[in-house]
Amino acid sequence: MKTAIQITAFLMLILISSCNKDFLNEPPKNLYASSIVWSDPALAQTTINQMYKDLGLPHSAISISQFCDEAWQCWNWGTGDFLKSNITSDNIPAWDAVHDGALQWNRLYKAIRGSNVFLENVDQIKFSDNALHDGKTMKQRMKGEVFFLRAQFYHYLVSEYGSVPIITKSLTTTDSLHFARNTYEECINFIIQDLDSAADNLPNVQFQSGENYGRVTKGAALTSKSRVLLYAASDLHNPDLNASLTSGYSNPEYLGYVRNDAKVRWQKAYEAAKAVMDLGIYSLKSGSAPYDQLYTSLFLAPNTSSEDIWIKLDIAKDNAGWVHDHYYITAAPNGYNGWGGPQPTSEMADSYEMTDGSKPNWNNPSFVAAPFTNRDPRFYSTFFYEGSSWRQRPDATKVADPFNKIQIGYVGYLEGGVFTPLVPGVDTRQGPSSSWNGTFTGYNLKKYLDPAYTVDNYDAKQPNYFRWMRYSEVLLNRAEAAIELGLLGDASKFTEAQSLINQVRKRIGMPPVVETGFALRDRYRNERKVELAFEEHRFWDIRRWMIAEQVVGTSSKELKLRYIVNKTDDIKLNGVPSYRKADGTTWTTPTYLLEESGTVIRSWDKKAYFLPIMRDEVNKNVGKLIQNPGY
Amino acid sequence: MKKYFKDSDVLSWNLLRKLFLIMKLVLLILTTTTLSLFAISTYSQSARVTVELKNVSVKEVLKAIESSSEFFFIYNNELIDVDRKVNINAKDQKISEILNTLFKADEVAVSVIDRKIVLSPAYMSSQQQKTSGTITDSTNGEAIIGANVVIEGTSIGVVTDVNGKFSLDISKPDAILVITFLGYIPSHVTVGTQSVLNVKLVPDIKKLDEIVVIGYGTQKKATLTGSVSTVKGNDIASIPVANVTNMLAGHVPGLIAYSNSSEPGNDKASLLIRGQNTLGDNSPLIVVDGIANREFEHIDPNDIESMSVLKDASAAIYGAQAANGVILITTKRGKLGKPMISLTLNQGFNTPTRLPKLADAYNYASMVNEIYPDTYSPDAIQKFQDGTDPLHYPNTNWYKATIKTWSVQKNANFTVNGGSENLKYLISFGAKYNDGVYKSSASDYTQYNFRSNIDGKINKFINIAFDVAGRQENTNTPNSDIYTVFRSIVRGRPTMIATWPNGEPGPATEGGAQSVIITTDQPGYSHRINYILESNLKLNIAIPGVKGLSLTTNASFDKNFSNQKNWSVPYNLYNWDGTTLDPNNQPILTPAQYGSPLPSLGQSVSDGKNITLNALLNYNVRIANKHDIKIMAGSERHTYDNFWLSANRGNFLSPALSQMFAGAKDLLMTNDGSEESNARLNYFGRVNYNFSEKYLVEFVWRYDGSYKFPTNSQFGFFPGISLGYRISEENFFKNNISFINNLKFRGSWGQTGNDRIKDYQFLSTYAFNDYSAVFGSTPAAYKALYENVIPNRNITWELADQRNIGLEGAVFNNKLSFEVDYFNNKRNQILIQKNASIPGMAGLTLPPENYGKVSNIGFDGSITYQDHIGDFRYLFSFNLTHNKNKIVFWDETPGVDPWQQTTGHPIGGDLYYQADGIFHTQAEADEFNAKYKGKGVIPNDGVVPGDIRFLDVNNDDIIDGKDRMRDFKSQIPTLTGGLNINFGYKNFDLGILLQGASGAVAYVDNFEAGLMGNYLQEYADNRWTTANLNSDYPRTWDRTNMYWTQNRNTFWLKSTDYVRLKSVELGYSTGEKTNKALGINGLRIYVNGFNLLTADKLGIYDPEGAAANGQFYIYPMNKTINAGIKLTF
């Protein structure tokens, strides 16, 4: 009895004593309350890191080069539909994979919100370190980065969609959330304003430079300004030239300028590039032959040079997912156990001139006799082509190729006009490795792959850098503005343009261009295509130049190679039919067939110059948000 | 040699050996304890007790004797008057002497057997001319002690003795004996000329005095007013599957159970009570032995006494976690009596119910040539077809190459159960083993579990119960996940060799994912061990001085430890150059290394604890013998905490030691960890009132507090009320409609809550991105912090409004019983993010807001008929559940076309282009191209014959997103049911469960087929080709390169309706003679099966498993054949 009461009392006591008021106020253990974040400079800095992440990752199994005429995506994860302009406001094929999805409308606006929140809260943070580093305080530097990044997010939006609503504050659910698009001109002005703020706040170099390398600097802000103004001045946004797009469209001010003052805009772009040059801290990396090695080294980790303005440092360390961390595997030819994801088109490869500056010509017998000799040195560092040397083959294919030379052709015989392959090259779609990863164009992409990196299994995380901005672009941006000013009447600018282009050509040993007028513009455009290949320029360039119809509006050709032997020939090596002879040479000289590709089929609809705003987003804005033409 | 070929026989012996060891140990302990406990039972009638009581009923005297001795009484209170008041003053008297003073010798006969004292009317014992026999339980052959055997129409009868025997003088040859015993269906037997009459009584499974477990208490089934379905542990324990959740399908009206995978250790079925009620988390609350949020899927089914499913307002006592219904699991407890030992052994064999049939090499190669001409030469295609050169031109069935026909499962349980009035115990040990389906499988599940449920009586007022249960769950898998394994099977092209003649694995598919090898432990393994320890100390204190008032307290402490170890090592796959042969004409192979280049190890541990403390005050009173009032009030607090740590190292020099220290201290050496905790505090209560068990009222409430909500709104109030009317208890009913034994109307209304949302949605918080940002001239990863969510400071519970009307009854001597419920649930304040209406450009990461409304209406019910014809016993029980939910209101994007809207329609529908067959001819294609070519999703180069025709739903001459229509079927069935059939004849019994589900769909995704992966045979066989113009199947495709493989359309949407033989069991129980001869209490031998037959329209893979969205890349469902033995002694 006594015990009963004692035990009861004891248990009730436990229960009741624990039921204090704070019992349920369990603070989170795996999250930071925002009040903590906005009182600590270190955490605030970490939110900027997120904004860098919000740019997404350029190198992956899918890249923006596969959405234009640079490359074909091996497995056609929707890129083929994009290239057929099968784009609707319900589905932009594969676009959600570009930059890991970062270039989508919603994602970019989410990133913009992050920068707005930062800019609203940064002034309440007490910085203990108010010293100047390279002329700027810690707070200035952080603000400068965020201004830059916000401008970059808007730059992507404007480049994809034309004008968009400009949102500069962090919204809450109680705000009015429906917005109309600003004009294109307002958007560009806003971006330039942010970039000016960024340039004012950012140091020339990042202090404690070791640790902060890869963060943006004043040079990056000025380069971005140069790019934004160049794009804005281009044909696509020029009311004199884009009528085919804007006619019949209710809001041409969303797609470009409405004032006919192209010359003023080219002048601004011309000066913006100069501002970067005037910093005096960047120069092209120079060297001597072999120039292909010089060019290759520009892109491989851990190299950096005076040419680099802003680098996305080692993508393999981002932990952003397998296809991002393992670029090497996704890009290497299938005979190297790779996926051969980006497959440069034959048209891309044919843009690379001969060392004498002439154009490759498949109708010219002497060219066909040796198409891969005496090419622009950049050709050799950009492409895997038949017979190009690479590092040792992995276990699975070293039997088939002891010579470590890319095999994109077939050894076989002709009978009654029908070619029967006896030995398919290891890198073809009938190779012994993962054949669905074989090339459809005759080429694989070599740029960014490091021959010194020898891990070839699925754990291979080759250090992988990407140049967001490098000095070649600045020179070419200025050259382009000069040419356009030249075409608008100031012929003296052609000479300056030639000299800028020739700076870029000279350092890899290519002869100078001497043309003027439209011929110069053609040479320039080809130079930009080649120098900045696979660096995320071409996609935007073919749009703003409005040449997409010509370059992706047609089907593509596949380069096929055959080594034709007699049916009875002994083509064995160590008792095994072999692709090459014991001395490494081929059984016969190759027969090249440049044929219409059955796979790389593309077509162009002018609506695709701009992406559609998603139907849901238009609907959500109840009539305020006007769709782009054609959707 | 690395161990990767697992010898299941060795393992099974180990398991058995271990089990016998445990048994030996237990027997030893038991012998010692029983010796001391039950030595008492030998002292027979010489036992002396002291009983001093005034003006009490005979019944109470008997009870007093029971409580102060080891004896207990068996009598029928309709034949023995035990309500008579007596005075007794016995000091240290023999029991027999006390009984002599209580009863007159010529009225009551006393017989003592062991510790049972049987009281029977003296006239019944006055045996004359003999018709004798035995009354036994039809299910287990056990003797029924104390059954009444009465000659119909007379008061002449006897009570069976301890051996179930009776002996009776029968004067008339046409006499009918009526044999009754509580809990059994009465039996009428014509005596005829028989002098020996053995009768088996069939247990009445729907007995009215059944006690049903409800929230924080129990209640008589007869007076229950809520909608509660129950299932007995014994009814499901016979289903030969490892996971309890898989035993439930088809058993419980209102409970929808569907399974997605039979992977050992990861085979949990999804459970839904009355379907989906919310747009958020629909999972029910699980309560095991009164403690909420315990896990029950791995409880040893032999330990389960019963399961109750609270489907309506009766769940309101669980307040904020009850809106999706509550499943209460109660484990077995000790029973009064000598120790009863039972041993159950099962040996089963599993095989996949169905594996997708894929194209053979000939068909595959021909199809590839249709998309990429000349990929395979005519010669190669010929060789694939005739199979004359299997080394160069193999024809591999990757399922067959990877999966074995039969895999083993086994389980064993050993239970001891018994007790005295002061101490009752149930001790149970179990072990089970479940092998994976792979050849040389690295996948299996082993479990060891124990339970000790002890009830003690400390004194007159205090009862104590201490329960402790533990489990060790070992789940082994290969280090490739299920998705990778089954993807590599479906992607395995039939033209590749799987295994070379010398047994070495064939060449790699992409990345070395070769299914034959990655299902073994050669590339490494992933081992998970969970340790679960659950304990509860319960005190029940009868408050002295106030009759009917008691306090119950529970203190439960549960621990959960988990260890995970992932080990990766390189492995070899083998290539052949196609030419080189050894002297025996066998190919000379070249190894190629795959997998982790150097061994690497990841380990993680987690440590969780749940503490639940509660106190319940109960007051029961009966006024004027008519008004029964039960009041309960309680309080409960719950805290949970879990932390985890993980570590990784790579670049091990040697694969010999898989220990962390042996790895390299380099960049691959990483670690991680975190912690989470939560807290709840509740007050709750229940009032029951009934008038003569005729008019029934129940009110329950809960005032529930949760850490998930902001400080000023952490608490919510959830009431529930239910009413019942047992019309069959009315005299007018009893007198006039006597064939209806029971008829009850009941109805309920209640409000319950659902707080299953992410934590801390009311706080503005930031979280670290899993990604890093990389900076520095020596690049290093830096953390990135992102806005987790913008806060919703008004966040509160989802509120369920639950209405239920039910009718239950029994007719024809309880032979036919039925129960049917209609429900109308409305869920309000459903927490959803307003992503559909808030523009993306706002950039907000939205918190859930209390916004949505869903209604869910349906019925569930069951009907059971049981009887016997002589020795033939039978039972049919059919149950059905149907529900239809509808989104009443939620966030819908403005301006969405009517045919795409979700509001007003069921949850879970998706948008599909409308497929309308294929283009058979060029003319059909041309006509279509003229209108639609290059518009919307139709390619610029137009359609060709063999493509699937999409309908222009809105007739706007373009086929785009607006032409998608919403299909309102989801992966969750809307109609489910089960038919239980039980037959028994003499010692044999047969149980059959047919189960079915309807209303669900699956999207058959074969879209990695093409150059990279294989086609389903069905599509290969029926594909459109120029030679097969009339086919209704599309032409060969390559992955998602076709508009009709890339855009979801109805062509690939298939119904998964099915009916299946879910389980079947045939058993034989030894009769009493045999038992006696063997000195045992019972022996049962049985064979049973699971998922043996399936009828469905889907055909491709298991329709039940199709409920998962993983499509092909899931572990198959198993069918099982099992044999078992249960020995009781």
pLDDT in tens, A580-597: 999 999 999 999 999 998
User: What pLDDT, on the 0 to 100 scale, is given for residue A9?
Assistant: 57
Using a CB–CB cutoff of 8 Å, tell me whether A457 touches chain B: yes
Q: Which of A24, A81, A455 sits opposite B714 (nearest CB)?
A: A24
**Are the Cβ atoms of B593 and A457 closer than 8 angstroms?**
yes
Which range, of A304-313, B277-286, B398-407, B865-874, averages the lowest pLDDT?
Answer: B865-874
Task: Give the confidence band of B971 by pLDDT, cuts at 50, 70, 90.
Answer: confident
Q: What is the pLDDT of residue A12?
A: 59
Query: Residue A373's CB: how many other CB atoms inside 10 A?
Result: 9
pLDDT score, position B277 = 92
pLDDT tens per residue, range B984-1031:
998 899 999 999 999 999 998 888 899 889 999 999 999 999 999 999
Mean per-residue pLDDT, A389-403:
88
Residue B11 has pLDDT above 60, yes or no: no
Q: Is the dihedral of CA B1068, B1072, B1074, B1075 positive or negative?
A: positive
Most A CBs within 10 Å, among B681, B774, B902, to test the A interface = B774
Percent of chain B with pLDDT over 90: 60
Count Cβ–Cβ pairs < 8 Å, chain A vs chain B: 339
DSSP state of A276: H
At B657-694, the pLDDT tens digits run 999 999 999 888 999 999 999 999 999 999 999 998 89
**Is it the case that residue A458 has pLDDT exceeding 80?**
no
Residue B512's pLDDT is 82
Q: What is the pLDDT of residue B575?
A: 87
Q: What is the model's pLDDT at position B3?
A: 39
Residue B829 has pLDDT above 90, yes or no: yes
The answer, for A414 touching chain B at a CB cutoff of 8 Å, is no
The whole-angstrom separation of Cα A510 and Cα B598 is: 45
Question: What residues contact A9, with CB distance under 8 A and at least 6 apart?
Answer: none
Give per-residue pLDDT as tens, B424-460.
999 999 999 999 999 999 999 999 999 999 999 988 8
Nearest CA in chain A to B769: A50
The answer on pLDDT for A379 being more than 60 is yes
Interface test with B, best of A107, A311, A313, A554 (most B CBs within 10 A): A313
pLDDT digits (tens, 9 = 90+) for A162-221: 999 999 999 988 899 999 999 999 999 999 999 999 999 999 987 556 788 999 999 999
In this complex, the residue of A25, A32, A105 whose CB is nearest that of residue B840 is A105
Q: What is the ipTM of this complex?
A: 0.91
8 Å CB contact of A24 and B782: no
* CB–CB contact A429 B375 (8 Å): yes
Lowest mean pLDDT among A237-241, B60-64, B125-129: B125-129
Q: Tens digit of pLDDT for each residue in B70-121?
A: 777 877 776 777 778 888 888 888 777 788 778 876 677 777 666 777 777 7
Mean pLDDT of B313-331: 93
Q: What is the pLDDT of residue B2?
A: 39
Rounded CA gap, B290 and B328, in Å? 7
CA distance A177 to chain B (A): 6
Name the β-bridge partners of B613: B555, B637
Distances, alpha carbon B602 to alpha carbons B3, B519, B526, B652, B665, in Å: 20, 19, 9, 12, 13
B839/A24 CB distance under 8 A: no
The gap from C-alpha A106 to its chain's centroid, in whole angstroms, comes to: 20
Using the beta-carbon criterion (under 8 Å), do A34 and B764 form an inter-chain contact?
Answer: yes
pLDDT(B1) > 70? no
Three-class secondary structure of residue A437 per DSSP: helix
Contacts of B842 in chain A (CB under 8 A): 109, 113, 167, 171, 175, 177
φ/ψ of A398, rounded to 5, equals -70, -25
Question: Taking residues A469-477, what's their average pLDDT?
Answer: 97
Q: Is B116 exposed, middle or buried (0-12, 13-18, 19+ CB in 10 A)?
A: middle
**Spatial separation of the C-alpha atoms in residues B482 and B263, rounded to whole Å:** 9
pLDDT the model gives residue A576: 80
Full 3-state SS string of B875-932: EEEEEEEEEEEEEEECCCCCCCCHHHCCCCCCCCCEEEECEEEECCCHHHHHHHHHHH
Residues of B in contact with A52 (CB under 8 A): 773, 784
Q: Which of B555, B575, B760 sits opposite A31 (nearest CB)?
A: B760
Q: Taking CB atoms and an 8 Å limit, are A319 and B595 in contact across chains?
A: no
B17-26, B996-1005, B1032-1041: least confidently modelled range? B17-26
Segment B696-721 mean pLDDT: 93
Question: CA-CA distance, B303 to B467, in Å (whole number)?
Answer: 12
Nearest to A395 among B544, B590, B834 (CB): B590
Question: What residues in A contact B1043, CB-CB < 8 Å?
Answer: 81, 86
Q: Nearest CB to B1012: which of A178, A211, A436?
A: A436
Mean pLDDT of chain B: 88
E strand or H helix at B464: strand B462-478
pLDDT of residue A7: 60
Distance from CA of B578 to the nearest CA of A (A): 8
Q: What percent of chain A has pLDDT over 70?
A: 96
Mean pLDDT of B552-578: 93
The tens digit of pLDDT for each residue in B1063-1090 reads 999 999 998 788 889 889 899 999 999 9
Does the pLDDT value for residue B957 go beyond 50? yes
- Average of per-residue pLDDT across B945-958: 95
| Cβ <8 Å between A113 and B843 | yes
How far A131 CA sits from the closest chain B CA (Å)?
21
* A606 touching B (Cβ < 8 Å): no
pLDDT (0 to 100) of residue A333: 93
Interchain pair B784, A18: CB under 8 A: no
Closest by Cβ to A458, choosing from B512, B555, B960: B512
Q: Which residue has the higher pLDDT, B202 or A91?
A: A91
The distance of A396 to chain B (nearest Cα, Å) reads 5
Q: What is the pLDDT of residue B46?
A: 60
Q: Would you say A79 and A63 are in contact if contact means Cβ atoms under 8 Å apart?
A: no
Of A12, A172, A314, the CB nearest to B615: A12
A9-13, B401-405, B594-598: segment of lowest average pLDDT: A9-13
Residues from chain B that touch A319, judged by Cβ atoms under 8 A, are 770-772, 781
Local structure of B1018: helix, strand or coil: helix
Least confident window among B47-51, B297-301, B990-994: B47-51
Helix and strand counts by DSSP (H, E) for chain A: 24, 13
Task: Determine the average pLDDT of the residues in B277-289.
Answer: 94
Mean pLDDT value of segment B513-524: 93
For the segment B495-520, the average pLDDT, to the nearest whole number, is: 90
Beta strands B1082-1096 and B1118-1128: pairing type? antiparallel
Indicate the pairing of strand B444-457 with strand B462-478.
Answer: antiparallel
Residues A252-271, mean pLDDT to the nearest whole number: 96
Alpha-carbon gap, residue A303 to B157, rounded angstroms: 105
In A299-358, the residues whose Cβ lies within 8 Å of chain B are 301-302, 304, 312-315, 317-320, 329, 337, 339
A433 touches chain B (CB under 8 A): yes
Q: What's residue B1110's pLDDT?
A: 47
Looking at chain A from residue 161 to 200, which residues have their Cβ under 8 Å from any Cβ of chain B?
164-165, 167, 170-173, 175, 177-179
Q: How far is A370 from chain B (nearest CA, A)?
A: 28
The answer to whether residue B127 scores a pLDDT higher than 50 is no
Picking from B555, B766, B1041, the nearest residue to A80 by CB comes out as B1041
pLDDT for position A11: 59
Query: In this structure, are residues A426 and A397 in contact, taking their beta carbons and an 8 Å threshold?
Result: yes
Averaged over A378-401, what is the pLDDT?
92
Lowest mean pLDDT among A528-542, B181-195, B364-378, B854-868: B181-195
Amino acid identity, position B578: G
Question: What value does the mean pLDDT take over residues B609-615?
Answer: 94
| Residue in A with minimal Cα distance to B683 | A19
Which chain A positions have a beta carbon within 8 Å of B782's beta carbon? Answer: 46, 49
Q: Is the pLDDT of residue B163 over 90?
A: no
- A319/B960 Cβ within 8 A: no
Beta-carbon separation of B774 and A317 below 8 A: yes
Strands (E), B7-46: none
pLDDT at B35: 39
| Inter-chain residue contact A601 with B941, CB threshold 8 Å | yes
For residue range B244-266, list pLDDT tens digits in order: 999 999 999 999 999 888 999 99
What is the separation, in whole angstroms, between the first and last Cα of chain B? Answer: 46
Scanning every residue of chain A, which has its alpha carbon at the shortest distance from the alpha carbon of B765? A33
| Residue in chain B nearest A47 by alpha carbon | B785
Please choose, from the candidates B463, B450, B460, the residue with its C-alpha nearest in 3D space to the C-alpha of residue B423: B463
Q: Does A31 touch chain B (CB under 8 A)?
A: yes
In terms of Cα–Cα distance, which of B128, B130, B126, B171 is closest to B153?
B171
Contact A313 B779 (CB under 8 A): yes
A80 touches chain B (CB under 8 A): yes
* Shortest CA gap A20–chain B (Å): 10
Could you report the per-residue pLDDT of B874-901, keeping only the tens digit for each?
999 999 999 999 999 998 888 888 899 9
Residue B377 is nearest to which of A18, A317, A420, comparing CB atoms? A420
Average pLDDT over every residue of A355-360 = 96
